[in-house]
Amino acid sequence: MERLRPFLRLSRALAATAWWYGTWWLGHLALLAAPRTSKRWRRWIMRRWCRALCAAFAVRVELVGAPPPPASLLVANHLSYLDILVLGAHVDAAFVSKAEIARWPLIGRLARDFDTLFLVRERRRDLPAMNAQIARALGQGIGVVIFPEGTSHRGDTVHEFRPSLLAPAAEDGLEVWAACLGYRTAQGDPPASTHVCWWGDAPFGPHARALARLRRIEARVEFLPRPERHSDRKELAQRLRAAVLERFEPVP
C-alpha cells in the first residue's frame, strides 16, 4: 500500500484538478457577459479546488483565528508549495509567485487562469509593475497573498521580510494582515522539514512524490487578529515579521 500511495494520491489530485478546472471553464463561458459574477465564481472554484487537493494529499488543516476580510492584503511565512493550497482553501485571493512557475507544464496554465501575479525576483526593475498589479487587484476587490521572505525554506525560523512588495500598502495607508504557517507529519513518517518544506535545490517532481508517500500532514494556519499599518514599507515589513515570528514554531 505504501508503494501505491503516491500513485493513488497523485491520481486523486489530477482527477480533482480535471473536475474543478472543467467546472470553472464551463461557468466561465456562461458568465462572459457578467464579469463580477465570473470573478466570484472563479474564487469559489479556487477554494473548493484547494480543499480537494488538500484532501487528496491527506493534509489536515487546523485553523486558528479568522481569515482577513475580503479584498485584503495578506502576508505569510513561506515553507512549501502546499502553502498555496492551505491558504487558498480559506481565503479569496490571488497569489504572488515566482515567474518561472508560469512556464511549468499544466501548473503554469492553471496559475495564470486563477489570477496569479508573477514576479521575476532577480529583476528589481520589474517591482514597480508588480506593485501596480497588486494595487490594481486590491482596487478591483481581489485579495492578494504575498510571501515576503521571497522563497520557501526548511522552517527553522521566519526569515527577514522583504519590504519591496509592501510599497502599495505603505503608500496608500492600507491594512496588512498576517498568517503564520506550520507543518507536522504523522509519527513514524519522515520529518516535515525535509518532506513537506521545499527548499534548497530539491527538484519539484521527486519532492512531490516523497510528500505523497506521507501518511498524513498536519498543517496549522494562524490568522493574526490585528492588521498592521505604517507609511514606511521597511517598518511595516519588520512589524509583520515580528508578529508572525511571535506565533511561529520551528518545523520538526
Of 130, 128, 63, the closest CA to residue 90 belongs to: 63
Is the predicted pLDDT of residue 60 greater than 80, yes or no? yes
pLDDT in tens, 144-190: 999 999 899 999 999 999 999 999 999 999 999 999 999 999 999 99
Cβ neighbors of 56 (< 8 A, separation 6 or more) are 9, 12, 13, 16
Asked whether residue 141 carries a pLDDT value surpassing 90, the answer given is no
Q: What is the pLDDT of residue 144?
A: 96
CA angle 156, 58, 211 (to 5 degrees): 50
Q: What is the mean pLDDT of residues 128-141?
A: 88
pLDDT at 2: 76
Quickly list DSSP for 121-138. Answer: TT-GGGHHHHHHHHHHHH
The set of residues, in sequence order, having a beta carbon less than 8 Å from that of 45 and lying 6+ positions away, is 20, 23, 24, 27
- Those residues with Cβ within 8 angstroms of residue 58's Cβ, 6 or more apart along the chain or in another chain: 9, 214, 215, 216, 217
DSSP letter for each residue of 161-180: PP-GGGHHHHHHT--EEEEE
Q: What is the CA angle 92-117-223, rounded to 5? A: 40
3-state secondary structure 33-102: CCHHHHHHHHHHHHHHHHHHHHHHCCEEEEEECCCCCCCCEEEECCCCCHHHHHHHCCCCEEEEEEHHHH
Q: Percent of the chain beyond pLDDT 70? A: 98
